[in-house]
Chains A and B, each alone.
Chain A
């Protein structure tokens, strides 16, 4: 019977605890009206199988009231849909709630709920829903409302990065690999007779095999490998010798020499080496491309801001796309909506949550006539505002006009591969021409043979593969630890970091970050006195005390003085209260460094004190232990109330910076960089965007990777925050592995070169050396990365 009692208390739809028995339908209990209505919608359409595949498949939707009027605007609709003809539209939604097979099932049954919908198709990993519908019978707004009603509200944003990011890659890499692999296989097969020796009677076959191999090499060179030529050429034009240059040279020489050998000398040529080379190189390229379908690293304020805002013109409310919003227009903002542009408050009681802009988590009360900065989220009643700055010129959003956002971020970190390949190319050319000149006086043919052989053998295949394979292995290790890197370059940037800057709210604290405790014996009346005093103050500590004491009856206060940085002196009735730090209450300092204590004096006696402990993210101590090796700074938009608590982590008071504006954060990072530091910024909100972008490595911390996170180089799940020191050490290990594998590939090159300079490179040696070095490098990097990860406890 135990299961029954559990079922009674949890919501049938979402699985949350049911606090009231009010929402009850068909013997099923729901936690809120939202969940209940979803069930009703589904049972009406006979879609209750939704609940059969998973227990409590729904997502709680207790507090949501969204309006989708703006989806009537043709401008907005045209931006959102993928395809439209006379009757049908196709649209793709990003729905982060998709999480189980029930979601998949329900969303693909949409056509049963409304006949105007032809089909709905889910891409589970991308969390996308593709819907084809008849727009005469069902408009986009109704479709979105239908989705909302069944508990799957799509995220609608005009800057739809997710969609753009998931667009199929244009480089046809998979096709190129397929072609190269096909040719490689066939060429290998046809080369085997040559390896084992062809008898004198079968020399005609030799000729035949040679030509057919050349035929197979054609698509490999001119289709699969063509990218190396164009890349090498483009880099040469800007006077850069990158790794593609020796690769392209190697491919070209291999092909030309093979044709010559087959046509003139009736020798087998190097087509097997050529095809293998291109095939492995492309594989390296492929695995380096790691895509996280559901994560976006490029978000800016536009994906956080709404698509449209309601504008009042001549007392009529009309949705307007954000891009058309002009100064002087009156807008209306409802509960939980975001103020899209700097505006003056005209009507209503504004309680604005600026946590995204300033990092300050407590809503701020704004009065009539005050300017409210864009990015704040209104909580409470609807307010009316007049826009004073356009969306892109507002206090927060002008941050994106900073040059840090327009510049390509590649300075501050040429990868090891890029640094080495320049010298590699020069040395390679020197050796090749050296051997040519050495042989030329005696034997021109042998000189040419030596020249080409050097270019073939020293072709840096293993070198080109060492970085992608190591990095791909490293990325998957990070990935397992809920740390998502934008690309493989980030690992090398991370290894070079020597300074760490952190944001406070949301980054090193999370959600409910305080722990308030009463020490001593307080009577109910005393509690009421304390509450009545503290409720007048907007100081965060006072608010925490009020929260802790809970709703009490307020007593009228006769006199009230708040002393900044010390506390409150108040009188209520005939009682005198002092609430504050020890110097206020006792007249001398008796602070302990690790805890904030608030002392209380009522009518000359001390009933006790209140301690407030800040909870920082798990493992903050570990991270702080990086201190001597890395310079650590705190950069917060918040007030300095927690300075004392934070000092234990950051040691020096001058490393704690409070009251920083978004622009100020960016400037601070820049000043550190000008001092020659390699800066890692860890932040979470829009206000950190500038700093994240400016830094050498920006990490966004989030408690749910599907939620909004600002544009950054890496996204870290808050649960892995404590692993940061391991991540940093592992990134250094990874770079060491790349150096080692470079040494290994050089050894192979030297062995090959000793054959090549003499001009006696047989195709067989080339055909053995190339795959052997490749396999060595791949297995070495994979195993070494695995062991390094084990050593750092990341596996």
Chain B
């Protein structure tokens, strides 16, 4: 049953790594703004031509 010592060591080590990762994320400000990235991801990357999301919406709603 001495394997328990080793296993507990492993589990604690793993947990400490997660804790450290969280503390690092917190300290480097990754949790400061939890809302804006969710909007940013929906925006298109560089396209030179204006994309026409809204007019398409209007067309489809007009057809209906």
Interface set of A (CB-CB < 8 Å, partner B): 2-3, 46, 48-49, 51-55, 101, 104-105, 108, 122-126, 168, 174-175, 178-179, 182, 185-186, 189-190, 202, 205, 208, 212
Whether A49 touches B51, Cβ cut-off 8 Å, given contacts A185-B15, A186-B12, A208-B5, is yes
Contact of A48 among B1, B40, B50 (CB under 8 A): B50
Give min CB distance, A132 to chain B, whole Å. 15
A-B contact pairs, 15 of them (CB 8 A): A3-B58, A3-B62, A49-B47, A51-B50, A52-B53, A105-B43, A178-B23, A179-B19, A182-B15, A182-B16, A182-B18, A185-B15, A186-B12, A202-B1, A208-B5
Closest to A185 in B: B15
Closest to B43 in A: A105
Whether A175 touches B26, Cβ cut-off 8 Å, given contacts A104-B40, A124-B35, A185-B15, is yes
Q: Are B32 and A168 in contact (CB under 8 A)?
A: yes
Q: Are A52 and B15 in contact (CB under 8 A)?
A: no
CB within 8 Å: A-B pair count = 70
| Residue from B5, B22, B33, B36 with most neighbouring chain A CB atoms (10 Å) | B36
Tell me which residues across on chain A come within 8 A of B47, comparing CB atoms: 49
Q: Are B50 and A49 in contact (CB under 8 A)?
A: yes
Closest to A201 in B: B1
User: How far, in angstroms, from A179 to B27 measured CA to CA in the complex?
Assistant: 14
Tell me which residues across on chain B come within 8 A of A123, comparing CB atoms: 32-33, 36
Q: Are B36 and A104 in contact (CB under 8 A)?
A: yes
User: How far, in angstroms, from A46 to B53 measured CA to CA in the complex?
Assistant: 16
The 6 A-B pairs at the shortest CB distance, nearest first, are namely: A124-B36, A48-B50, A182-B19, A123-B33, A125-B35, A52-B51
Tell me which residues across on chain B come within 8 A of A178, comparing CB atoms: 19, 22-23, 26
Tell me which residues across on chain B come within 8 A of A55, comparing CB atoms: 54
Q: Are B8 and A212 in contact (CB under 8 A)?
A: yes
Q: Are B36 and A52 in contact (CB under 8 A)?
A: no
Give min CB distance, A1 to chain B, whole Å. 9
Closest to B36 in A: A124
User: How far, in angstroms, from A74 to B26 measured CA to CA in the complex?
Assistant: 35
Q: Are B54 and A54 in contact (CB under 8 A)?
A: yes
Tell me which residues across on chain A come within 8 A of B12, comparing CB atoms: 186, 212
Tell me the residues in window 11-48 of chain B with beta carbons closer than 8 Å to chain A beta carbons.
11-12, 15-16, 18-19, 22-23, 26-27, 29, 31-33, 35-36, 39-40, 42-44, 47-48
Q: Are B5 and A53 in contact (CB under 8 A)?
A: no
Tell me which residues across on chain A come within 8 A of B32, comparing CB atoms: 123, 168
User: How far, in angstroms, from A179 to B52 measured CA to CA in the complex?
Assistant: 49
Closest to B5 in A: A208
Q: Are A205 and B4 in contact (CB under 8 A)?
A: yes
Tell me which residues across on chain B come within 8 A of A51, comparing CB atoms: 50, 54
Tell me which residues across on chain B come within 8 A of A126, comparing CB atoms: 33
Q: Are A175 and B39 in contact (CB under 8 A)?
A: no
User: How far, in angstroms, from A521 to B54 measured CA to CA in the complex?
Assistant: 51
Closest to A205 in B: B4
Tell me which residues across on chain B come within 8 A of A52, comparing CB atoms: 50-54
Tell me which residues across on chain B come within 8 A of A182, comparing CB atoms: 15-16, 18-19
Tell me which residues across on chain A come within 8 A of B36, comparing CB atoms: 104, 122-125
Give min CB distance, B46 to chain A, whole Å. 9
Closest to A46 in B: B48
Give min CB distance, B12 to chain A, whole Å. 6
Closest to A102 in B: B43
Tell me which residues across on chain A come within 8 A of B11, comparing CB atoms: 186, 189
Give min CB distance, A229 to chain B, whole Å. 22
Give min CB distance, A525 to chain B, whole Å. 51
Closest to A112 in B: B46
Give min CB distance, A242 to chain B, whole Å. 29
Q: Are A125 and B39 in contact (CB under 8 A)?
A: no
Closest to B1 in A: A202
Give min CB distance, B60 to chain A, whole Å. 11
User: How far, in angstroms, from A175 to B26 measured CA to CA in the complex?
Assistant: 8
User: How far, in angstroms, from A373 to B4 measured CA to CA in the complex?
Assistant: 79
Give min CB distance, B7 to chain A, whole Å. 11
Q: Are B26 and A101 in contact (CB under 8 A)?
A: no
User: How far, in angstroms, from A202 to B50 measured CA to CA in the complex?
Assistant: 72
Q: Are A101 and B43 in contact (CB under 8 A)?
A: yes
User: How far, in angstroms, from A202 to B4 measured CA to CA in the complex?
Assistant: 11
Q: Are B15 and A104 in contact (CB under 8 A)?
A: no
Tell me which residues across on chain B come within 8 A of A174, comparing CB atoms: 26, 31
Q: Are A190 and B26 in contact (CB under 8 A)?
A: no
User: How far, in angstroms, from A463 to B58 measured CA to CA in the complex?
Assistant: 57
Closest to B56 in A: A52
Tell me which residues across on chain A come within 8 A of B22, comparing CB atoms: 178
| Residue from B11, B26, B50, B58 with most neighbouring chain A CB atoms (10 Å) | B50
Give min CB distance, A698 to chain B, whole Å. 29
User: How far, in angstroms, from A105 to B42 measured CA to CA in the complex?
Assistant: 10
Closest to B58 in A: A3
User: How far, in angstroms, from A51 to B48 measured CA to CA in the complex?
Assistant: 14
Give min CB distance, B47 to chain A, whole Å. 7
Closest to B4 in A: A205
Tell me which residues across on chain A come within 8 A of B40, comparing CB atoms: 104, 108
Tell me which residues across on chain B come within 8 A of A125, comparing CB atoms: 33, 35-36
Tell me which residues across on chain B come within 8 A of A202, comparing CB atoms: 1
User: How far, in angstroms, from A778 to B50 measured CA to CA in the complex?
Assistant: 52
Give min CB distance, A40 to chain B, whole Å. 15
User: How far, in angstroms, from A175 to B25 measured CA to CA in the complex?
Assistant: 10
| Residue from A53, A122, A125, A212 with most neighbouring chain B CB atoms (10 Å) | A53
Q: Are A49 and B44 in contact (CB under 8 A)?
A: yes
Tell me which residues across on chain A come within 8 A of B62, comparing CB atoms: 2-3
User: How far, in angstroms, from A467 to B58 measured CA to CA in the complex?
Assistant: 51
Closest to A104 in B: B39
Tell me which residues across on chain B come within 8 A of A46, comparing CB atoms: 48
Give min CB distance, A47 to chain B, whole Å. 9
Given contacts A48-B50, A178-B23, 11 further A-B contacts (CB under 8 A): A49-B50, A101-B42, A124-B39, A125-B35, A168-B32, A178-B22, A179-B19, A182-B16, A190-B8, A208-B5, A212-B12
Contact of B23 among A53, A104, A175, A208 (CB under 8 A): A175
User: How far, in angstroms, from A53 to B43 measured CA to CA in the complex?
Assistant: 8
User: How far, in angstroms, from A538 to B26 measured CA to CA in the complex?
Assistant: 61
User: How far, in angstroms, from A14 to B40 measured CA to CA in the complex?
Assistant: 22
Give min CB distance, A442 to chain B, whole Å. 41
Closest to B31 in A: A174
Tell me which residues across on chain A come within 8 A of B42, comparing CB atoms: 101
User: How far, in angstroms, from A174 to B23 measured CA to CA in the complex?
Assistant: 9
Give min CB distance, A202 to chain B, whole Å. 7
Give min CB distance, A271 to chain B, whole Å. 15
User: How far, in angstroms, from A126 to B32 measured CA to CA in the complex?
Assistant: 11
Q: Are A104 and B33 in contact (CB under 8 A)?
A: no
Give min CB distance, B38 to chain A, whole Å. 9
User: How far, in angstroms, from A208 to B40 measured CA to CA in the complex?
Assistant: 50
User: How far, in angstroms, from A124 to B39 measured CA to CA in the complex?
Assistant: 9
Tell me which residues across on chain A come within 8 A of B44, comparing CB atoms: 49
User: How far, in angstroms, from A178 to B25 measured CA to CA in the complex?
Assistant: 12
Q: Are B26 and A104 in contact (CB under 8 A)?
A: no
Tell me which residues across on chain A come within 8 A of B5, comparing CB atoms: 208
Closest to B35 in A: A125
